[in-house]
Structures are given as C-alpha cells and as structure tokens.
Amino acid sequence: MIYKKKDFFIEKVKASKLAKIYSTPLYCYSYQKLSENINYFKKMFKSIDPLICFSVKSNPNKILLSEIRKLGLGADVVSIGELMRSLKAGIKPNKIVFSGVGKTSKEISYAIQKKILLINAESKSEVLEIEKLAKAKKRKVDIGLRLNPNTDAKTLSQISTGKKENKFGVSEKTFLNLIDYIKKSNFINLKCLSVHIGSQILNNKPYEKMLKVLEKIIDKSEYNFEYIDLGGGMGIDYENKNKNLDLKKYSFHINNFLKRYKTKIIFEPGRSIVGNTGLLISQIIYIKEGDNKNFIILDAAMNDFMRPALYNAKHRIIPLIKTNTRSKKAYEFVGPICESTDKFLTKKKFQKLKEKDFIAICDVGAYGMALSSNYNLRPKATELLIKNSKIQIIYKRQSLKDLI
Ligand SMILES: *Cc1c(COP(=O)(O)O)cnc(C)c1O
C-alpha cells in the first residue's frame, strides 16, 4: 500500500479505480500485508513454537478466514457463530479454542460435539455446566481456565480486560479452588491456564507482569498445564510513528518463562494479524464550511466503522489522489449519521479537498467490518481482497431490498 506518484495503490491496483468500480464505502484488504503479518508473527516467536489461534472476532470474513487458515493459523472463537464459521473455513477442531464469559449450554454442547482443542472457562458456573454436559455425552472434555491476573494492560480502559474489576476470568483464589475440584472430576480435564489482559498493548511491561503472576500461581498450584494460553492484545502502529510492540522482547520473556515450565504456548492475536491489512475508502458527499473548521461529510459513517465513536480511537486518513496543496482551515471528517459521535478525525493542514473526492481511513482491518451495523438502515459495505493485480469480492454490499 503505497503512493506511486500521485495515486495510492493497494498492491498493484489503483485505489481510486476500485472506488469508482465498486462504489463506496468500500473495505479493501491487502493479501500481501496479511501474509507478511502472519509470517512476521511466526518468525518473532519461532523459538517458542506456539499454536497461533487467530481471534476471529477481530475480522470474521469467511474468505479472509480461509486464507488465514491456509497461512497456518488456528482460531480463537467467542460464539457458536464464530466456531461454525471457523470450521466451515476448514480450520481443524484441534486448532480451535473457545473463550468468553457467557457461553450458553447450546454453545458448549456444540463445542464438545466438535471436539475442539479447548473450552476456556471463565467461571465456576461455567466449569460446572461443561462438566454436566460432558457427563450427559459420556465424554471427558479438555478445558482451560481463564485467570484474571489483575494486571493493568495500560491501554484504553474500554479494551482492558485483565484487572479485577473487569468481568473476565477468575480470581487466583477461585482458580486454585477450581483446580482441586476439576482434578476429582471424571468428565473434565484441566489442560490449560489462559489469560488475556487487553488489546492494543504497545509496551512489554504489562506482559512481563502477567508472566510473573502466572509463575506465582503455577508454583502455588503445583499443577502441570499442558498449555499456557497467553491471549492476544499485541498493539499496532495506528499513528505511523514506529510505535510498535517489541515482539522479540516479549518472546525473550516467554522463553525465560519456558525454562521453568514445560508447556505449549498458545496465542490469540487478532489486531496484529489483520489491523493494518485494511482500508475503508469513502467519497466526500458535501463539504460544509464552518467558522473555524470545515466539515468533510463522508459517505462512510459510524455504522461502517465504529472504533472512533466507540473508543475515541484515532485512525489516519489519506487522500487517494495526492495534490501539493494545504487547506488553511482544519478539516473534521464526519459521517452522515444523526449522532455527534459520528466523526472520524479532525486534522489541520490536510491537502485541499473537493466534493466527490475519495479518501481512505487507514488500518481498519481489525474491529472494522466486524463491528459494523445497519444503524440508520444503512447497508453493510462491500469488502475486497487484493492480491497483486487480482481483485476478489469477499463480501457483497447488502442490497436495500434485503434491508427494507
Ligand atoms: C479479543 C480477544 C483477543 C484478541 O485481541 P487482539 O487485541 O485483537 O489481539 C484474544 N483473546 C481473547 C480472549 C479476546 O477476547
């Protein structure tokens, strides 16, 4: 994804051409970026030889999921829908883990029936429910237990999950009690300790603290876990300022951890695999002049891409055709929805824009289309996968007919 002279290209395809052919708003993903991200992740953790389970909730597109499977990853799912889709994408059950605080008996039954690698339980009630359903099926089911390590991930509070006030996982005390309970059960087998402290983590410190907490509890429990599932959360460089999580350093700390414990590591990355693979192309409907700033009213809105409205997340915006101009007034990029939070970014000294111009919102591959909705009865956008000069429609825009 790069400018060639004035035109922005996704692999070998001119982005403005895609906008004209497929119309906007339009999600475009780069296959090359996807495979680079996966290979980089594998390379950084090569010495650990982990099982890498892609967090399906970050981008559940069917075709992307099957490409991710072909590139060697398993799946981390949080609902029966994601589990079914992962199986349909050809991901083997022995590479699937199931997380989430509120799995229903229907979801657990299905997971047992499909013999997935692990159901990661998050409460005593869930452990009892899994045991009951396993007993009914006369099976012994492998489970993980998610610990709440009470570790601050130092990320946005809305995407922090590892502190004791968060709903996720069980406390150390409950964890130790549940180990004793599960040891005596004929129907559940505790194989994994799992954690996931939050998302968009850019510093290794929280992970180091988390590993320390794990050492302490494993020593206390004197239990041999076949797997330690460290979750995901690896942050990406949204600001394009070379602010990345140092995966090498994380790998070094995990290697130290593994000197003490013989176990297989599982990761559940989402954002770091797909985040920077996607762009959301949008056309300017109107430009409304204000006193201090001009509103750039886009045809993409918070229903298409919700992170700015939901988390106040900042995503770079770029023009698809560059000009050497600078706007005097600041631009506020907004959508057409009747909500004041339906805005993407305010930017000073952007290049001068005109009505009908195309722009792209960057790094929308994770939690972009995944969080989209039909709010205001707006159809969901088309998604394209670009591989060299090949263009594949991987999701077709919903038709108004379907919606109304
Ligand atoms: C959301 C989630 C992930 C993925 O997080 P990223 O920040 O996208 O890597 C992994 N594991 C669990 C349990 C999650 O809820």
CB 232 near ligand 1, within 6 Å? yes
CA–centroid distance, 131 to ligand 1, in Å, is 26
Predicted local confidence at residue 244, as pLDDT: 85
CA–centroid distance, 4 to ligand 1, in Å, is 35
- C-alpha angle with apex 389: 383 to 395, nearest 5 degrees? 15
227 and 264 in contact (C-beta within 8 Å)? yes
Q: Return the residue whose CA atom lies nearest to atom 11 of ligand 1.
A: 231
CA–centroid distance, 184 to ligand 1, in Å, is 31
7 and 36 in contact (C-beta within 8 Å)? no
What the chain holds in terms of domains, given with CATH numbers, is 2-29+275-403 (2.40.37.10), 31-273 (3.20.20.10)
Predicted local confidence at residue 72, as pLDDT: 98
Q: Return the residue whose CA atom lies nearest to atom 8 of ligand 1.
A: 270
Pocket test for ligand 1, best of 86, 154, 196, 245 (most atoms within 8 A of CB): 196
Predicted local confidence at residue 216, as pLDDT: 96
pLDDT means per 10 residues in the chain (404 residues)?
95 98 98 98 98 98 98 98 98 98 97 98 97 97 96 82 88 96 97 95 95 96 97 94 91 97 97 98 97 96 97 96 95 96 97 98 98 97 98 98 92
d(CA 83, CA 54): 12
Catalytic residues, which ones? 338
Predicted local confidence at residue 1, as pLDDT: 86
Residue type, 357: D
Residue 88, CB-side half-sphere exposure with 13 Å CA sphere: 12
CA–centroid distance, 369 to ligand 1, in Å, is 16
CB 155 near ligand 1, within 6 Å? no
d(CA 43, CA 92): 22
Predicted local confidence at residue 164, as pLDDT: 85
Residue type, 143: I
